[in-house]
Amino acid sequence: MIQKPRGTRDFLPEDMESRRNVEGTMREVARRWGYQEVCTPEFEDLDLFTMRSGDGIIEEMYIFEDKGGRKLALRPEITASIIRMYINEAKVTPKPIRWCYFADCFRYERPQKGRYRQFWQFGVELIGADTALGDAEVVMLADDMLNSTGVTYELKIGHLTFMKKLLKDVEPKIQRKVMGHLDKKDFDGLKTTIENIGNTDLYNSLIALVNCQDLKEAFEIAGPIPEKDRIEQTINLLNVSGIKYGFNFGIARGLDYYTGLVFESFAQNLGSENQILGGGAYRLAHLFGGDDIASCGFAIGFDRVMVSLGEIKRIKETVVGVVSTNEGRQRAIEVAREFRNAGIRTEMNIMDRGIGAQISHASKSADYVVVIGQREVESGNVTLKNLHTGKQKTVDLPEAIAEVGAYGAR
Partner RNA sequence: GCCAGGGUGGGGUAGUUGGUUAUCCUAGGGGACUGUGGAUCCCUCGACCCGGGUUCAAAUCUCGGCCCUGGCCCCA
> Among 89, 374, 402, 405, which residue sits at the site for RNA (rule: CB under 7 A)?
374
- Smallest gap from Cβ 329 to RNA, in A, equals 12
- Smallest gap from Cβ 160 to RNA, in A, equals 13
Instruction: Choose between 186 and 229: whose C-beta lies nearer to RNA.
Output: 186
C-alpha separations of 171 from 53, 174, 194 in Å:
20, 6, 12
Instruction: Choose between 32 and 113: whose C-beta lies nearer to RNA.
Output: 113
- Smallest gap from Cβ 55 to RNA, in A, equals 11
Q: In degrees, to the nearest 5, what angle opens at C-alpha 208 toward C-alphas 207 and 209? A: 90
149: CB partners within 8 A, 6+ apart: 22, 25, 26, 305, 309
**DSSP-assigned letters across all residues of 351-383:** SS--HHHHHHHHTTT-SEEEEESHHHHHHS-EE
Site size for RNA (CB under 7 A)? 59
Q: Applying CB under 7 A, which part among 107-115, 125-133, 163-171, 231-239 lies near RNA?
A: 107-115
Please check whether residue 325 is in contact with residue 313, taking contact to mean a CB–CB distance below 8 angstroms. Answer: no
Using CB under 7 A as the binding rule, whether residue 200 contacts RNA is answered as no
404: CB partners within 8 A, 6+ apart: 318, 320, 339, 344, 367, 368, 384
Using CB under 7 A as the binding rule, whether residue 184 contacts RNA is answered as yes
Please check whether residue 212 is in contact with residue 218, taking contact to mean a CB–CB distance below 8 angstroms. Answer: yes
> Among 45, 144, 180, 395, which residue sits at the site for RNA (rule: CB under 7 A)?
180
- Smallest gap from Cβ 79 to RNA, in A, equals 6
From residue 258 to residue 277, the character string flagging contacts with RNA as x (rule: CB under 7 A) and all else as - is -------------xxx-x--
- Smallest gap from Cβ 273 to RNA, in A, equals 6
C-alpha separations of 229 from 132, 235, 263 in Å:
9, 10, 19
Using CB under 7 A as the binding rule, whether residue 254 contacts RNA is answered as yes
> Among 69, 380, 390, 408, which residue sits at the site for RNA (rule: CB under 7 A)?
390
Instruction: Choose between 215 and 335: whose C-beta lies nearer to RNA.
Output: 335
Helix, strand, coil % over all residues of the chain, rounded to 5: 45, 25, 35
d(CA 257, CA 53): 9
Nearest to 101 by CA among 136, 77, 84: 77
**DSSP-assigned letters across all residues of 263-277:** EEEEESS-TT--EEE
Using CB under 7 A as the binding rule, whether residue 185 contacts RNA is answered as no
* Cβ contacts of 106-112, under 8 Å, gap ≥ 24: 106/61, 106/62, 106/74, 106/75, 106/76, 107/60, 107/61, 107/76, 108/59, 108/60, 108/61, 108/62, 109/7, 109/60, 111/6, 111/7, 112/271, 112/272, 112/273
Using CB under 7 A as the binding rule, whether residue 192 contacts RNA is answered as no
Instruction: Choose between 221 and 332: whose C-beta lies nearer to RNA.
Output: 332
From residue 13 to residue 52, the character string flagging contacts with RNA as x (rule: CB under 7 A) and all else as - is ------------------------------------x--x
Instruction: Choose between 196 and 360: whose C-beta lies nearer to RNA.
Output: 360
Instruction: Choose between 25 and 40: whose C-beta lies nearer to RNA.
Output: 40
Q: Applying CB under 7 A, which part among 24-32, 191-199, 358-366, 395-403 lies near RNA?
A: 358-366
Using CB under 7 A as the binding rule, whether residue 81 contacts RNA is answered as no
Burial of 130 (0-12, 13-18, 19+ CB in 10 A): middle
| Residues present in the chain in total | 410
Using CB under 7 A as the binding rule, whether residue 240 contacts RNA is answered as no
In Å, how far from its chain's centre is CA 110? 21
Q: Hey, which residues between 288 and 347 contact RNA (CB under 7 A)?
A: 325, 327-328
> Among 17, 19, 57, 130, which residue sits at the site for RNA (rule: CB under 7 A)?
57
Using CB under 7 A as the binding rule, whether residue 371 contacts RNA is answered as yes
Instruction: Choose between 219 and 349: whose C-beta lies nearer to RNA.
Output: 349
d(CA 327, CA 336): 15
Q: What are phi and psi of 65, to 5 degrees?
A: -110, 135
Please check whether residue 194 is in contact with residue 202, taking contact to mean a CB–CB distance below 8 angstroms. Answer: yes
> Among 2, 3, 242, 292, which residue sits at the site for RNA (rule: CB under 7 A)?
3
> Among 82, 267, 385, 401, which residue sits at the site for RNA (rule: CB under 7 A)?
385
Residues forming the site for RNA (CB under 7 A): 3, 5-8, 49, 52-53, 57, 60-61, 76-77, 79, 107, 109-113, 115, 180, 184, 253-255, 271-273, 275, 278, 325, 327-328, 351-357, 359-361, 363-364, 371, 373-376, 383, 385-390, 392
